[in-house]
Amino acid sequence: MGAAVALEFALRRPPSLKGLVLASVGCRVAIPKEWLASLRQGITPFEMVVQSFHPMPYTFWQKEHAMDTNRCPQPVRYLDYLALNSFERREELEQLRVPTLILRGGSDAVVNEDGVAELHRRIRGSTIEIVRGGGHALSVLKPHEVSTAINRFIADHIWRASDTDQVGEPADGRSSVMAPRWRDG
């Protein structure tokens, strides 16, 4: 859901947006009809929990995810997945003009490779990175790999440390210790 919200925000092209990171998303999210039917009845399909953490065996994280999911009121949970199922922005993606990193877990059972590849083709100048052994809950399963990929992307595409005069004296007069200038474009 978070990537869909980020895409929607990015498509409105706020001037302050200088980059975008999308994780575990393709051009379209297709929720299986059986899952929606179960959610409508107030039942969270076990497969949803398992596939979120694939390829890990049923673990503490899956149990925590299931408990968190069940804490969410049933109508909200159903409407979240219904909204995801209807999310479609293929045509608009070509309008994105900001550096974009697309992350996918190599073992993601929810988002398929074709959808991620299409997302990459449609967002001009995007970078795609596959995290080996990562499932759909990428930041939970592979936090180090995800943060490393994001940091590398920011360094390579968003800011340049050379745009600061020296530590403590930013070139643009800001008061932070290290104040990068954002690339325009």
Q: CA–CA separation, 67 vs 28, rounded Å? A: 27
SS3 63: helix
38-62 burial code (b ≥16 CB/10 A, e <16): bbeeeebeeebbbbbbbebeeeebb
Domain boundaries defined on the chain: 1-28+96-185, 30-86
Structure tokens at 57: 């065996």
Question: Quick check: 176 and 170 in contact, CB under 8 A?
Answer: yes
DSSP strand pairing (181-182 vs 159-160) = antiparallel
Only one residue has tokens 């299409």, namely: 118
The CATH code belonging to domain 1-28+96-185 is 3.40.50.1820
pLDDT at 157: 86
- Digitized pLDDT (tens) for each residue of the chain, 185 residues in all: 788 888 888 988 778 888 999 998 887 777 788 888 888 887 776 666 666 655 555 566 566 666 666 677 878 888 888 888 888 888 889 988 889 999 999 888 778 888 899 999 999 989 999 999 888 888 888 889 999 999 999 998 887 533 543 333 334 443 333 333 333 43
pLDDT at 58: 53
Q: CA–CA separation, 180 vs 171, rounded Å? A: 8
